[in-house]
A and B are shown apart, each in its own frame.
Chain A
Amino acid sequence: MSGETEKLIRIEGLIFSYHHEDGTVADTVIDNVSFDIEKGSFTAIIGKNGSGKSTLAKNINALLLPAGGAVYVKGYDTKDPEHIWDVRQTAGMVFQNPDNQIVSSIVEDDVAFGPENLGVDPAIIRQRVDNALEAVNMGKFRNKAPHMLSGGQKQRIAIAGVVAMKPECIIFDEPTAMLDPKGRREVMEIIKELHEEGITVILITHFMEEAAMADRVIIMDSGQVKLDGTPQEVFSHGKELKEMSLGVPMAVELAMRLRDDGIDVPADVIDTEKMVEFICQYR
């Protein structure tokens, strides 16, 4: 396979700025960012509020258009109005607030909304809706009203709505920020499963524990990419992360302390499971 075809998303020197109401001054939110996303990968983008991570996500989905540089999704320039629907169908998006992205008062009708917009044949929509609801374990709730569901369930419906559009990539914009721990676990479980089924996942989050599940972590701060690598590589920069007001998972913190104490903890100990495995070697 050639390297070119594997790259689902290419971001080249992206610059984005919001204009003030008077139209004169502008805040640069994204400042010359470039990276590629490979097909089938799982990338976590981390940064504190105002770091530009959500703005970046919206640029990939053509909800926002670059002020400078370019974003290509499956080869389509997001600025090209001809292909805007191809871009959005390829790279679906799930937002933070589960309530404010569900259109219909019946679960299955909401899931059908995307495919309907794409003009898919009714019989195929039916099939896709059923499959998507099964994929998020919400088949039983197809006829329920969204406001009767828990936050985690609502967010899974929102995910099903995107899955039914058959995207190659799903961008999750802080999907668990408003959920309780149970909802958070449910949603992360679904994200993992979707990735295993071959969907390219971009997860915007500020939870380091969630980032540990990805195979690539990008740290953003003041509109720029500060760190980019595997979770191991990124978490090994503990001090820099703290300077950017980001924490590290407990296991990483503990591993760092143990290394300072002279214990040779391998670099891949980045979550509790691996830490437990490591300690058990001394049993």
Chain B
Amino acid sequence: MDDETRNLAITTCILAGQILIENGSNMDRVNDTVYRMGRAAGLKSFQVFTTVTGMVASSDHLPNAQAVDIRVRKNNLRKVAEVNDVSRRFVNGKLTLAQTYAELSAIDRDQTNLPEWLQCVAAAVLSGALLVIFTGDYGDVIESSLIGGIGYWVFLVLFRKFQIKYISEFSAAVVVGVSAMLLQKVGIVANANATIIGSIMPLVPGIPLTNAARDFVAGNLISGPSRALEALLTAAAIASAIVLVLRYVA
């Protein structure tokens, strides 16, 4: 095995890990996938260091380790499934190293997601369903759905334009709170508190919460706290928006 193949093998492993971390996989799975691929590629003494914001991998006493810097969080679970599929085929010997690298970089470049309007419709339905489950309040289902969908749309647009997650969530929560309070003053919404509970739920950080719990339990002392912090920051953004609305609008 020459140095070029080994370098390509390390790059392929690190690319798989990068896509998994960016799209919200838990760290146990990332490490497992990367080590399996490294073993299948025939790397000896392969070592990886994974954090939520970057990865370092080295092998075979090559003079240089490879590192990757991870800054974006896309939370696109379909890519996790696709990387899983590719790595399984590679480990089973159905793909060569070069084919694996090509498929992984195609996955990485692929930007297709559900269309925005469909995501907003899903957010609206989610708001209505969780309103009933959490508060037992049937009266404001349609209003809560509408506000939830609009709030999530505001989040998507702001995030696409400015790429700052927490401020986008803050603004979306302000929109949700203000519109619920105003509609209550006009008399369309009966219970603004319940409406806000339902409409805010699409902004909940589901993937960081789940990963924080699982990484903590798995004993990963770098990834667990940082995922928990990610979830807490989102929660704090939403909470401060709600405090503002309750203090100055209600």
A binds B: no
Using a CB–CB cutoff of 8 Å, the interface residues on chain B facing chain A are none
Using a CB–CB cutoff of 8 Å, the interface residues on chain A facing chain B are none
